């Protein structure tokens, strides 16, 4: 028989105003096994905790029931207090008489009666509690960063800086991500390449960082501290250890008409290519969809010109299996496809471009060498119209995104400003719903565009863009402040497309068992207090995969994610949740039902020898639970037909006892 102490908290008047706390402690003092029962103003206060500790010692309590606020609030507090007396912390049960009683009921008699019943249920459960000890699991001191954009790069650099090994997996042939395609960065207007490429080089040179470019994560197993990951390293058909990145092959390749992804298809590349001059790793890649040699065995020019002998047409995809302690998701974003925005004539005129395309058209390494020219005729544009919120803040079902893409206001101000600075002969219009510029030096930046550079900011939306036969774009818009219709003859229209998570994020989330919101952004463990952690232990979030972000925010979050990873990898052992499943092997049939419903693969089977009642021995297939992997959901306990599987802390008999206590007449 347990010796149980009952502690009823007033929570000031939060509980005491609606529940007669002395009646509760009095009623519960008569329950079987209860040897001490009291009430106190604030059980969670130091004095309250001391009261509990003293009672445990004095009355040699083996079980403690606290009638107080939700266990989600103070279960840990009370467990710690009890543990300090030497009693096992899992001998504590909480009856929630605040959130689930005093706060929702007005009638004091009914609330008091309910509080007593909830107390009885907790007492009934404590009778069946057993001391639990948390297990330990080791931590693999290596992190995996998925995605090699600025978010992934920064996270990797910071983790490596703390002395831990980091692997970056990037699906493109080079790391760098979206930032490599951006020309200048707001609000300081430094060139993106100038600040990004040194970081890319740092990654390549850091001996703690290992880059798997042109690779994708294929399978993730395991759990926090002990992830087992399969990475598919796609065949480049180039031996990266031999390739010097000289680019000779990319000059000689006869397949010249392949849209260049780096310049968003605004110019062409060859079938063997290096994405851009500062690529890391700077090695060539053969595009198997367009290479004649790989498709029909005819050509082989690149192999002939390669003085390093790096070309290998027989190269195969390679699977790499590695262990990690933590995984950081940094899969980033993409602008949405604009094909369905026909009102802006995106698919009808090459002079209607997305903002990212505009970046390439103004970038020195872009298709026009940095001179702003119309894609249709290569002429200098005089009138430019920028349209903001294309697909963002859109309530229309199935068309755009309901959220604000956050970065468009600022980069549009940047585009407008730079255009006016470089080409003072241009007229620049920006159509906006609201201008959102809350960031350090952001509003000042936007105002400079309006005040110093004479950009025409118009509050209103563009209704229609019609390409005219003479090459002009007829822009029909409304100026909401003036209350007039506007008609502009434009040379170029730039659409600030909404951004969305990369398509690879959803299947990745499934592999990681990390949750996502309806827009496919990864969900953080707590919107305010744990913004860089996924609810799944050991998975961290960096950059735009968690929500739209600009570069400063991304870098800040990347650093925060790194610090969380470092905090985890510093530990030699992780303490596991002791409320895990346990198989009674004497009763186990070995039927595999539990194994099938376990989301963590925590259950394995072994053939074990048992002594039978008739003194013979028999070999039986029985389940065993990996306590470090089990998260304690209890799916297996119900799947098990024989009841061999039970959950510590929430056992069948404990829950039944609670049911009985609640239903007792």
Where does this chain bind another protein (CB under 8 A)?
70-72, 96, 98-101, 103-107, 110-111, 113-114, 117-118, 121, 513, 515, 535, 579, 584, 586-593, 596-597, 599, 605, 618, 620-621, 631-635, 637-639, 641-644, 646-647, 650-653, 655-660, 662-665
Q: Which is nearer to another protein, 194 or 662 (CB)?
A: 662
Minimum distance from residue 471 beta carbon to another protein (Å): 50
Minimum distance from residue 619 beta carbon to another protein (Å): 8
Secondary structure, 3-state, 476-528: EEEECCCCEEEEEEECEEEEEECEEECCCHHHHHHHHCCCECCCCCECCCECC
Do 319 and 231 contact (CB within 8 A), yes or no?
A: yes
Minimum distance from residue 98 beta carbon to another protein (Å): 7
CA–CA–CA angle 59, 64, 67 (5° rounding): 125
Minimum distance from residue 24 beta carbon to another protein (Å): 14
Closest Cα partner for 302 from 316, 313, 289, 288?
313
CA–CA–CA angle 632, 638, 643 (5° rounding): 100
Minimum distance from residue 632 beta carbon to another protein (Å): 5
Minimum distance from residue 629 beta carbon to another protein (Å): 12
Minimum distance from residue 624 beta carbon to another protein (Å): 15
Minimum distance from residue 637 beta carbon to another protein (Å): 7
Q: Which is nearer to another protein, 118 or 182 (CB)?
A: 118
Closest Cα partner for 153 from 188, 183, 195?
195
Do 132 and 649 contact (CB within 8 A), yes or no?
A: yes
Q: Which is nearer to another protein, 216 or 658 (CB)?
A: 658
DSSP characters for 134-166? --EEE--SEEEEE--SHHHHHHHHHHHHTT-EE
Q: Which is nearer to another protein, 419 or 546 (CB)?
A: 546
Minimum distance from residue 589 beta carbon to another protein (Å): 6
Q: Which is nearer to another protein, 17 or 450 (CB)?
A: 17
- In whole angstroms, what is the distance from residue 160 CA to residue 170 CA? 17
Q: Which is nearer to another protein, 128 or 373 (CB)?
A: 128
- In whole angstroms, what is the distance from residue 185 CA to residue 362 CA? 13
Minimum distance from residue 62 beta carbon to another protein (Å): 20
Minimum distance from residue 449 beta carbon to another protein (Å): 39
| Count of CB atoms situated within 10 Å of the CB of 137 | 16
Minimum distance from residue 541 beta carbon to another protein (Å): 17
- In whole angstroms, what is the distance from residue 603 CA to residue 498 CA? 44
Minimum distance from residue 106 beta carbon to another protein (Å): 7
Q: How many helices (H) and strands (E) does the chain have?
A: 18, 34
Q: Which is nearer to another protein, 403 or 605 (CB)?
A: 605
- In whole angstroms, what is the distance from residue 330 CA to residue 77 CA? 35
Q: Which is nearer to another protein, 22 or 515 (CB)?
A: 515
Minimum distance from residue 286 beta carbon to another protein (Å): 39
Buried b (16+ CB within 10 A) or exposed e, 18-44: bbbbebbbebbeebebbbbbbbbebbb
Q: Which is nearer to another protein, 63 or 543 (CB)?
A: 63
Q: How far is CA 114 from the centre of its chain?
A: 41
Q: Which is nearer to another protein, 289 or 614 (CB)?
A: 614
Q: Which is nearer to another protein, 116 or 560 (CB)?
A: 116
Pairing assessment for the beta strands 492-497 and 383-390 based on DSSP bridges = parallel
Q: Which is nearer to another protein, 435 or 640 (CB)?
A: 640
Q: Which is nearer to another protein, 405 or 631 (CB)?
A: 631
Name the packing angle between helices 108-127 and 21-28 (round to 10°).
Answer: 30
> Which contacts (CB < 8 Å, 24+ apart) does range 624-627 have?
624/583, 624/585, 625/580, 625/581, 625/582, 625/583, 626/602, 627/135, 627/576, 627/580, 627/602
Q: Which is nearer to another protein, 122 or 238 (CB)?
A: 122
| Count of CB atoms situated within 10 Å of the CB of 596 | 11
Do 170 and 203 contact (CB within 8 A), yes or no?
A: no
> Which contacts (CB < 8 Å, 24+ apart) does range 318-321 have?
318/232, 318/233, 318/235, 319/218, 319/230, 319/231, 319/232, 319/233, 320/212, 320/215, 320/230, 320/231, 320/232, 320/233, 321/228, 321/229, 321/230, 321/231
Q: Which residues pair with 530 in a beta bridge?
A: 526
């Amino acid at each position: 028989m347990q010796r149980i102490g009952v502690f009823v908290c007033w929570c000031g008047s939060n509980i005491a105003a609606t529940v007669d706390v002395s009646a509760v402690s009095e009623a519960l003092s008569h329950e079987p096994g209860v040897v001490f029962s009291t009430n106190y103003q604030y059980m969670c206060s130091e004095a309250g905790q001391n009261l509990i500790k003293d009672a445990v010692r004095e009355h040699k309590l083996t079980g403690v029931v606290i009638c107080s606020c939700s266990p989600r609030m103070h279960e840990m507090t009370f467990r710690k207090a009890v543990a300090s007396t030497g009693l096992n912390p899992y001998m504590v049960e909480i009856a929630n008489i605040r959130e689930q009683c005093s706060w929702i009921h007005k009638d004091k008699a009914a609330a008091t009666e309910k509080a007593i019943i909830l107390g009885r249920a907790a007492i009934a459960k404590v009778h069946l509690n057993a001391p639990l000890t948390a297990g330990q699991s080791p931590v693999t001191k290596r992190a995996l960063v998925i995605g090699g954009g600025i978010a992934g790069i920064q996270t990797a650099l910071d983790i490596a800086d703390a002395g831990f090994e980091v692997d970056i997996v990037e699906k493109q042939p080079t790391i760098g991500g979206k930032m490599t395609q951006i020309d200048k960065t707001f609000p300081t207007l430094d060139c993106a390449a100038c600040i990004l490429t040194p970081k890319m080089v740092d990654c390549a040179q850091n001996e703690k960082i290992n880059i798997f470019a042109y690779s994708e994560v294929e399978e993730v197993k395991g759990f926090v501290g002990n992830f087992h990951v399969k990475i598919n390293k796609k065949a480049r058909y180039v031996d990266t250890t031999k390739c010097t990145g000289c680019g000779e092959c990319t000059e000689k390749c006869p397949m010249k008409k392949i849209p260049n992804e780096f310049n968003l298809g605004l110019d062409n590349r060859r079938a063997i290519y290096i994405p851009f001059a500062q690529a890391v790793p700077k090695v060539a890649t053969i595009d198997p969809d367009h290479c004649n040699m790989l498709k029909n065995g005819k050509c082989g020019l690149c192999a002939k010109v390669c003085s390093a002998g790096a070309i290998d047409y027989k190269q195969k995809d390679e699977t790499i299996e590695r262990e990690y302690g933590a995984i950081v998701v940094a899969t980033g974003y993409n602008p949405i496809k604009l094909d369905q925005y026909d009102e802006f004539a995106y698919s009808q005129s090459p002079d209607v471009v997305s903002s990212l395309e505009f970046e390439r058209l103004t970038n020195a390494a872009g298709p026009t060498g940095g001179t702003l020219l119309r894609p249709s005729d290569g002429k200098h544009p005089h009138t430019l119209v920028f349209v903001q919120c294309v697909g963002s803040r859109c309530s229309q079902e199935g068309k755009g995104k309901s959220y604000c893409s956050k970065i468009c206001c600022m980069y549009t101000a940047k585009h407008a400003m730079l255009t006016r600075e470089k080409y003072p002969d241009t007229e620049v219009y920006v159509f906006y719903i609201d201008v959102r510029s809350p960031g350090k030096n952001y509003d000042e930046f936007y105002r400079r565009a309006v005040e110093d550079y004479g950009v025409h900011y118009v509050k209103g939306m563009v209704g229609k863009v019609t390409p005219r036969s003479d090459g002009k774009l007829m822009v029909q818009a409304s100026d909401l402040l003036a209350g007039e219709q506007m008609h502009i003859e434009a040379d170029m229209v730039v659409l600030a497309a909404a951004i969305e998570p990369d398509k690879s994020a959803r299947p990745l989330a499934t592999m990681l068992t990390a949750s996502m919101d309806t827009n496919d952004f990864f969900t953080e463990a707590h919107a305010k207090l744990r913004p860089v952690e996924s609810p799944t232990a050991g998975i961290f979030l960096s950059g735009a995969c968690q929500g739209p972000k600009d570069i400063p925010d991304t870098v800040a979050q990347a650093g925060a994610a790194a610090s969380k990873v470092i905090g985890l990898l510093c530990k030699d052992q992780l303490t596991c949740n002791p409320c895990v499943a346990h198989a009674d092997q004497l009763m186990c049939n070995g039927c595999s039902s539990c194994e099938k419903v376990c989301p963590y693969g925590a259950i394995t089977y072994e053939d074990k020898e048992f002594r039978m009642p008739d003194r013979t021995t028999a070999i039986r297939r029985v389940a065993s639970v990996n306590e470090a992997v089990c998260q304690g959901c209890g799916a297996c306990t119900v799947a098990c037909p024989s009841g061999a599987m039970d959950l510590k802390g929430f056992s069948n008999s404990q829950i039944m006892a609670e049911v009985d206590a609640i239903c007792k007449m």
